Structure 1
Amino acid sequence: MSESRLQQLTRRVANEAIQRGWAALRRTGAIAPGTRAAERFGSFGPGSVVGFPPATLYGERQVHIGSETLIGCWVTLAAGYTPDQQTVPPRALVIGDRCVIGLRSGLIAHESIEIDDDVWFGQDVFVTDSNHGFEDLTVPIGHQLGPHQPVVIGAGSWIGHGAVVLPGSRIGRHVVVAAGSVVRGEVPDNAIVGGVPAKVIRIVDESDRGRPEDHPELVALMPQHAYAYGHQRRAARAR
């Protein structure tokens, strides 16, 4: 049965109202400097935002977010096993400047996860510094706690969609982690890694790098901080 003109008009108006209302709710609910929610964090840099709605958010006092960092919606940021845990280190989860954390990602810190500046995540990335144990065959695996092993992700790296970064991972600077990879252990600077478990596919050297001047149509689309970051790195290497 086809809709009448009145029904079509009513649906159109209601849809527009819902779309506008949801957009306004997301803008208003976002965590940004000056909000009470931001003040609950250990530090929350200028220009940063945590999208609304988040997924799980607790232990904010032990979470530190740098400046101009974008954290997407439905992201989990957690420090400790429970919201009322008193033994979490004061800088359990540190996210640097100008980072991007994609939708539905999860960062679960118990002792130390450190994400350096200009690190970008795809969607659905999971990072943790502790996993379950499985040594005791008389105890359900989910009830066994594994050791805490700090995680570091170096500046300028890209972590692809759906990647998992396990406890003890130390990812170097300017690393690409392929989508769906599972990382554990050391990853050298300038590496491209992929697979389960992730292995080094290649190391990128200076001869592989394109110059922004070669692609002027892309430079206009890049955030200024991304262009400046690449320029500063090239200048530093030239010195």
Structure 2
Amino acid sequence: MDMGIKRLLNRGVLAGWRWLDRAGEITPGTRAADGFGSFGSGTSIGFPVATLMGTRSIHLGSGILIGRQVTLSVGYGPDDAGIPERGLVIGDRCVIGARCSLVAHASIELGDDVWFGQDVFVCDASHGYQDPDLPIGEQFGGHLPVRIGSGSWIGHGAIILPGATIGRNVVVAAGSVVRGEVADHTVVGGAPARLLRRLEPGVGWVGPRGDVRPVLRGHFGEADESGFVSA
């Protein structure tokens, strides 16, 4: 192909994709946004989406940024009449990275200012396995609500299992698998996730072997006068 024609086609394709990107974005006032239980001001869902299901049970706060190819779903299918009124609730100013999946059946709730990396998976139900004659995919497990506290960061590729309760300002390291309860102001990582560091007022960020990192303030980690937290 002639290089000039190739450049022209490339320019046209990229321009068309940028137009689709803008036109396909879900924002307040669009028909797709009207199908949600609530859809806050300044919130957007990138184009293209992966799956949107049970949107009347999904409630989005304001100022949320949701990336491309994200799945937001409630229930076992588009015709599931038994979905809860508030199956998936996302607080204000959250960021959900590309290709994340939030799959709710009873309740998944994110506080304000929760940030996800890419490819994070969160679900509040799993499969059973104890009937040896029934396919695993047809054995539905119990519904265990998931909570993620305000200000927390969930790293790339993390998996949040049914029943997990993650506190405020928690760091979940990339690739971690989280179950159970995670306390406020902690850093966890691994599969299954374990405690890597916790905040001790008046001391700092303490590791499992007693090593201490100072408290830093501000967006870029500027040290205060003491480097520690007041009791």
TM-score, normalisation: structure 1: 0.86
2:102 aligned counterpart, secondary structure: strand
Considering only aligned residues, what root-mean-square deviation do their CA atoms show, in Å? Answer: 1.7
Q: Do structure 1's residue 16 and structure 2's residue 11 form an aligned pair? A: yes
Amino acid at match of 1:120: W
Equivalence for 1:42:
37
> How far did 1:204 drift?
2.6
Match for residue 58 of structure 2 among 51, 63, 73: 63
Deviations 1:21-78 (A, max 9, x none): 1011011101000101000000000000010100011100000000000010000000
More helix by share: 1
Amino acid at match of 1:51: G
Fraction of identical pairs, as percent: 56
Hey, what's the Cα distance between the residues in 2 that align with 1:196 and 1:142? Answer: 23
> How far did 1:209 drift?
2.5
Q: Do structure 1's residue 212 and structure 2's residue 218 form an aligned pair? A: yes
Equivalent residues in 2 for 1:65-144, closer than 5 Å:
65-144=60-139
Amino acid at match of 2:217: R
Hey, what's the Cα distance between the residues in 1 that align with 2:126 and 2:65? Answer: 27
Q: Do structure 1's residue 196 and structure 2's residue 191 form an aligned pair? A: yes
Deviations 1:6-26 (A, max 9, x none): x11111111011111101101
> How far did 1:214 drift?
6.6
TM-score, normalisation: structure 2: 0.89
> How far did 1:213 drift?
7.8
Pair 215,163 (structure 1): closer, same or farther in 2 beyond 3 Å: closer
Hey, what's the Cα distance between the residues in 1 that align with 2:34 and 2:219? Answer: 41
Pair 40,210 (structure 1): closer, same or farther in 2 beyond 3 Å: same
Equivalence for 1:32:
27
Pair 137,177 (structure 1): closer, same or farther in 2 beyond 3 Å: same
Amino acid at match of 1:209: V
Amino acid at match of 1:87: G
> How many pairs does the alignment contain?
214
> How far did 1:215 drift?
5.8
Hey, what's the Cα distance between the residues in 1 that align with 2:91 and 2:220? Answer: 29
- Give 4+ residue runs of structure 1 displaced > 4 Å after superposition: 213-216
Pair 79,212 (structure 1): closer, same or farther in 2 beyond 3 Å: same
Farther off after superposition, 136-145 or 33-42 = 136-145
Q: Do structure 1's residue 166 and structure 2's residue 166 form an aligned pair? A: no
Unaligned ranges ≥5, structure 1: 217-236
Amino acid at match of 2:19: A
Q: Do structure 1's residue 182 and structure 2's residue 188 form an aligned pair? A: no
Unaligned ranges ≥5, structure 2: 205-213, 223-228
Amino acid at match of 2:58: V
